[in-house]
A and B are shown apart, each in its own frame.
Chain A
Amino acid sequence: MELNAPLTALNTVESFEELYRRTFPRVYAYVASLLRDRSSAEDVTAQAFERAYRKRSGFSARRGTPEAWVFGIARNAALDELRKRKRRATLESEPADLWSPGPDEEAERAFQRDEVRRAIASLEPRDRDLIALKFAGGLNNVEIGRVLRLSESNVGSRLHRAVEKLRKACE
């Protein structure tokens, strides 16, 4: 089976495994960006894929791509985790071990990354969610619209504003 062929149904184990292979690193990256905690991100990612596996027969291609569907499930799981954290009043906690620099990472590159991370941290949570879906999740605007229940043009507008904020924060 071609790796990039679009999936229209997930009623077989093989098709789900293919979806998993395509999306696992991106779903993890998105969830980790949102939760900013490696351990929680792993739990939530595992939970999201398990939910997706159990609900796979309920997937309908009319409601969007399988990728958008999995990201929707992952987002719900991540938001549930955030709610739990909010109750524990640690929503804005700093990431502990999410991004560890490599031993041979250049100083300039490390400085640039820190700058970007600070800029992302300065964004509002909703903008951070959008940026994570776009850059960590690798979704296009239509798929992001499906996940967030927004129109494509609305996603474009919000993305434009969020990127502008990021650029200003990086300057």
Chain B
Amino acid sequence: MNEETTTIVIDNALATGSVTALDPEERKLQELALALRADAPVPDEDFALRMNARVSAGFPRRKRIALPRFAVARPRFTAIAAAASLLIALVIGVSLSNRDNGTEVAATSGGAPAELRDEASAKSAPAAPQRAAAGGATEQSADSVASSPPIVGPIPPTDNFVGGRNRRVQRSAALTLAAPEDDLSQVGDQVIAVTDRYRGFVMRSTVTSAADGQAGGSFDLRIPVRTLRPALRDLSGLADVKSRTENADDVTASFVNARTRLEELNAERRGLLRRLEKAITEQQAGAIRARIRLVNVQIESAQSSLKELQRRTSYASVSVSLVPKDEGSGGGGGGISDGARDFRDSLVDSANVALRVLGVALPIGLVLGLLIAGNAWATRRRREAALDA
């Protein structure tokens, strides 16, 4: 007898309440099925009456000490919620901690480089001139030169986004802003205000009104490199940004060469002064003095080059162009285009908010879902274990 036959034979017997099969084996099975059903325990009459009454009354609750419902009815859910909260707090804590660490690193590279440079230079300074003289504008030689005793004054720290913290990077940016024609002058004033706020200076500025021809303006600014990013952010916020470009040129090699040249000239001057002290004849002394004057001129020139390089790497050149905003063609069309733009912006903002909410809700939901599923699985396993022999 196979599984299917067994089921059919048993179900027939249970449905009819009698032995219907002809086959002796099947008859035995049906007799067993009926015996099993007949042997099923029957509830006491008293119990059945009590149950009937309770069902009719809708299972009235017994009075208990008033505890919070969630604590009484759902202790497991409370535990899950507590575990999920802890997990989320842990995740947030770890992420915040990582962010703090990142800030510290950024601050180290921008805010406190001098001490680090001095410490590093103590080991590598003696070999630096030779390496630099050999024309090796490598990271190591740049470190050595930057950390050697200052010749032309302290070097301001830079926001080096290209490479190592001692590299010399010349940065520039160009920004094209579009503002309504009537506001061009006002935006121009704000460009200057932003420049002042970040301790920069305006090299050149031009604002042309519509009466003089094509309205517009241009500004040539110098912004301290360390504040370039916030300055660009503020400038970009003054009007609609049509274009924005940023350049970074590594001038470490030129810087090292200029510094090495200055050191060599200083060394030569010291040598000439020593020779002057030892000069015997007036003719010899005159020749040496002439040479010293020549070296002095060369030193001034080298210092000037080095200062120029320092200035170029300390200040970023920022070019701002102001152009009138295209108000749209066709009389009265501006309102519609503005409305459409606002509508688009609102959609983008809504999508951003929705994405952020989703970004938070999704992991929390996943964690909660996993915890609930895990709890259900564990409970089922525990229950089923009661049937293990």
Contact B43 A163 (CB under 8 A): no
Kindly state the separation between the CA atoms of A124 and B386 in the bound complex, as whole angstroms: 12
Query: A140 CA to B54 CA in the complex, in Å?
Result: 28
Please name all residues of chain A whose beta carbon is closer than 8 Å to the beta carbon of B36 when the two chains form the complex: 116, 120, 131, 134-136, 166
Task: Judge if B211 is at the interface, Cβ distance under 8 Å.
Answer: no
Contact with A along B357-389 (1 / 0, CB 8 A): 000000000000000000000000011111111
Contacts A125-B389, A156-B3: A116 and B41 contacting too (C-beta < 8 A)? no
The prevalent SS among residues of A at the interface is helix
Interface size on B, residues (CB 8 A): 39
Chain B interface secondary structure, helix, strand, loop or mixed?
helix
Once A17-B56, A79-B386 are accepted as A-B contacts, the answer to whether A116 and B39 lie under 8 Å apart by CB is yes
A138 engages B37 (CB within 8 Å): yes
Among A54, A86, A98, A136, point to the contact of B386 (Cβ < 8 A). A86
Check B7–A116 contact: CB distance below 8 A.
no
Q: Which residues of B contact A53 (CB under 8 A)?
A: 55, 58-59
Q: How far is the CB of B387 from chain A (nearest CB, A)?
A: 4
Candidates B32, B35, B47, B382; contact of A83 at CB < 8 Å: B382
Give the residues in chain A near B29, CB-CB below 8 Å.
163, 167
What residues of chain B have their CB less than 8 Å away from a CB belonging to chain A? 1-4, 6-7, 10-11, 14, 28-29, 32-33, 35-37, 39-44, 47-48, 50-51, 54-56, 58-59, 382-389
User: Chain A interface (Cβ within 8 Å of chain B)?
Assistant: 13, 16-17, 20, 24-26, 28-29, 32-33, 38, 41-42, 45-46, 49-50, 53-54, 76, 79-80, 82-83, 86, 91, 98-99, 112-113, 116-117, 120, 124-126, 129, 131, 134-136, 138, 140-141, 153, 156-157, 159-160, 163, 166-167, 170
- Which 9 interchain pairs have the tightest Cβ spacing? A32-B41, A82-B386, A135-B36, A29-B40, A136-B40, A79-B383, A160-B3, A125-B387, A28-B43
12 additional contacts (CB under 8 A) given A79-B387, A135-B37: A24-B48, A25-B48, A29-B40, A46-B51, A46-B54, A80-B383, A116-B35, A125-B387, A126-B387, A134-B10, A135-B14, A163-B10
